[in-house]
Amino acid sequence: MKIVTKLFAMAAAVTAIAVVNSAPASALEKPKPAPAPTAATAKATFAGGCFWCMEPPFDAIDGVLSTTSGYIGGKQKNPTYKEVSAGYTGHTEAIEIVYDPKKVSYERLLAVFWRNIDPTVKNQQFCDVGSQYRTGIFTHDDAQKVAAEASKAALVKSKPFKSSVVTEITAATTFYPAEDYHQDYYLKNPIRYKYYRNGCGRDARLRELWGAEAVAGRSSSRSLTLGASTNLLRGRILRLRCSPYAGYVTRVCQTRRHELRPLATVSRRSHIIKVKQGRAFSGDLT
């Protein structure tokens, strides 16, 4: 009898393992918490439609330490992408920015935000329609509220388009980081990202609204040194020459040597390395 009981217990354990192993990765994946600001840093939260497209312009800014895609403005706790994208939770897609106020001002972030959205439509951004894509500025204190309202008022007076500005300014509520596969999507899946962005008509509409100002937040070509991350690379990389790639903020840097190893995404054929504001990214050699 004891043997039979043990056999049943073993069978149950094997079945449980099989169920876990057969579950899709997305079902088991839990989002990582957004980096917490320290006394020397601050947070800014903006909603500008698809969060994939809102990370690049801010990642290009010196003084921005991190961008995290996620959800804000709803009532449900711990929403998933499937729930938010279906419009059930009341959240909107947004990004949370951790930045160094000594290097970049909140006003600068606001300027970049405006010129990367269409502030003339409610519950929609480009090809994405629904309240989950509404634009918004979510302030974290009174100073941010004052700055955001002043920024919006100035925009209303100087806007290069006729339509009204409908983007709302509200106090920040709980921000829920999105699933891991959404984070840095434009770096992890550059081809799919570019296909989506072009197909959605985002850049065409931004140029229509803002003209030359639509490129705000994209730095010009320059030399970039890999700071503290350099000693983590097994190759000898002293300096990189970087320039925007395909109109986006992702950096494509020509290297002087071939000894690149992981902590960077490298192409052996063209000897390029993708970096994000001077911080090397982990990835496999291709």
**Residue 200 annotated among the catalytic residues of the structure:** no
| 113 Cα distance to chain centroid | 13
Which of 106, 107, 136 has the alpha carbon at shortest distance from 119?
A: 136
Instruction: List the catalytic residue out of 50, 53, 242, 253.
Output: 50
Closest CA to 94 of 130, 48, 59, 60: 48
Give the sign of the dihedral formed by CA 70, CA 74, CA 75, CA 79.
negative
Rounded Cα gap, residues 130 and 146, in angstroms? 28
- Is the distance from CB of 59 to CB of 98 less than 8 angstroms? no
Angle at 151 between CA 149 and CA 157, to 5 degrees: 105
Task: Provide the annotated active-site residues.
Answer: 50
